[in-house]
Amino acid sequence: MLQKSDSRNVNIKIYVDGQILNRDEAQVSVFDSVVQGGDAVWEGLRVYRGGIFCLDRHLNRLMDSAKAMAFVDVPNKSDIKKALTETLQANGMTDDVHIRLTLTRGRKTTSGMDPRLNIFGPTLIILPEYKPPVYDNENGIIVITSTIRRNSPNNLDSKIHHNNLINNILAKIQSNVAGADAALMLDNYGFASELNGTNIFMVKDGIIYTPHADACLHGITRGLIIQLARENNFTCIEKNISLTEMYSADEVFCTGTMGELTPIVSIDGRKIENKSISEILPKLIYAFEESIHKYTEKI
Ligand code: PMP
């Protein structure tokens, strides 16, 4: 499934380093750390009816990522909120919008890896686009398992939401070649970790399972679904999940800001068969939709 370009985005305005610019003028320097080494952290945010969903949770993760990367002179949360508000207002955007919020280590004095070359402070980029949830949440998606492993804390801690997405992109290429919608990535031990851009859950005999957030991103939607499941008296367990367990689950679905909750209908050609006639996913989708108002911060 390829996201279509949306004509509403032809004249959008983008925030770069304190300026709100027309789409064609918005640029970063060739000396910026994101160009030099993918040296940046980011968040995907969704705007619902005049507010940003789970904004504090996203900004807290951005701050934690920037701290782990030892960024200096990081703008504080209220400065970022102000910039988000100004950017959405400049675009007249209130709903059906996805924001790619990026914080790079900033420009360097010369090309190179050393963060001591970054004397100008970080670059903040706010790219808002009209974008409905990206997957077919009615009919679900088809997934294949990638041979590319998701990072473990041994090489690159997935608790940092960074811009080094090469392994996820390679996995997505494998899924494209296979004609699937997304790639399931395993951890170093061969357990399911997450899809190339979303977290994964399965339901078996009335219990919800999701992989430990050791190799996968600790997704904001993932965290909220675990919370909502428990608030609705479902048992939700984080554990190592093998492919065999995934194949024979009653329901499998993925979660993320881009696509919300999406059923997975087959993995590696194994159809997901709802043998227990489980209705947990529709109930979680309902709980998620009900939670949107509660967790949306007006801007
Ligand atoms: N996994 C990966 C690799 C992602 O890039 C994302 C989106 N940022 C997610 C999962 C979903 O995370 P969230 O629920 O915070 O959008």
Provide residues with CB under 6 Å of ligand 1.
Answer: 44, 168, 194, 197-199, 217, 219-222, 255-257
- Atom of ligand 1 minimally distant from the CA of 196: 3
- Ligand 1 centre to CA of 95 (Å) is 20
For ligand 1, atom 2, which residue shows the shortest CA distance? 197
Q: How far is the centre of ligand 1, averaged over its atoms, from the C-alpha of 9 (Å)?
A: 23
Contacts of 238 (CB under 8 A, 6+ apart): 209, 210, 211, 212, 213, 226
pTM of the complete model: 0.97
State how far the Cα of 282 lies from the Cα of 138, in Å rounded to an integer: 11
Which atom number of ligand 1 is nearest to the Cα of residue 222?
14
Instruction: For residue 48, report the distance from its CA to the centre of ligand 1, in Å.
Output: 18
Contact in structure between 46 and 259 (CB atoms under 8 Å):
no
217, 220, 262, best to mutate for ligand 1 pocket (most atoms within 8 Å of CB): 217
Q: Tell me if residue 44 falls in helix, strand or coil.
A: strand
What pLDDT score was predicted for residue 5? 82
| Best mutation site among 151, 163, 257 for ligand 1 pocket (most ligand atoms within 8 Å of CB) | 257
What residues does 128 pair with on adjacent strands? Answer: 99
- Looking at this protein, which amino acid is placed at residue 37? G
CA of 248 to the centre of ligand 1 (A): 25
Report d(CA 105, CA 295) in Å as an integer: 30
Q: What is the per-residue pLDDT for 3?
A: 77
The string of DSSP codes covering 131-157 is: ---SS-TTT-EEEEE-SSPPPPTTTS-
Residue with CA closest to ligand 1 atom 9: 198
What pLDDT does 4 receive?
75
pLDDT given for residue 212 in this prediction: 98
Taking CA atoms, 269 is separated from 49, 71, 143, 180, 197, in Å, by: 38, 44, 8, 10, 20
Q: Is residue 189 classed as helix, strand or coil in its secondary structure? A: coil
Residue 69 Cα to ligand 1 midpoint, Å, equals 19
Task: Give the pLDDT confidence score for residue 92 in this predicted structure.
Answer: 97
**Nearest CA-CA partner of 128 in 91, 99, 101, 90:** 99
pLDDT digits (tens), the chain, 299 positions: 677 789 999 999 999 999 999 999 999 999 999 999 999 999 999 999 999 999 999 999 999 999 999 999 999 999 999 999 999 999 999 999 999 999 999 999 999 999 999 999 999 999 999 999 999 999 999 999 999 999 999 999 999 999 999 999 999 999 999 999 999 999 999 999 999 999 999 999 999 999 999 999 999 999 999 999 999 999 999 999 999 999 999 999 999 999 999 999 999 999 999 999 999 999 999 999 999 999 999 98
Give the distance (Å) from ligand 1 centre to CA of residue 218.
8
Angstrom CA distances, 30 to 25, 100, 109, stand at 15, 20, 11
Query: To test the ligand 1 pocket, which listed residue (199, 200, 216, 288) has its Cβ within 8 A of the most ligand atoms?
Result: 199
CA of 185 from ligand 1 middle (Å) equals 13
Ligand 1 centroid – CA 199 distance (Å): 7
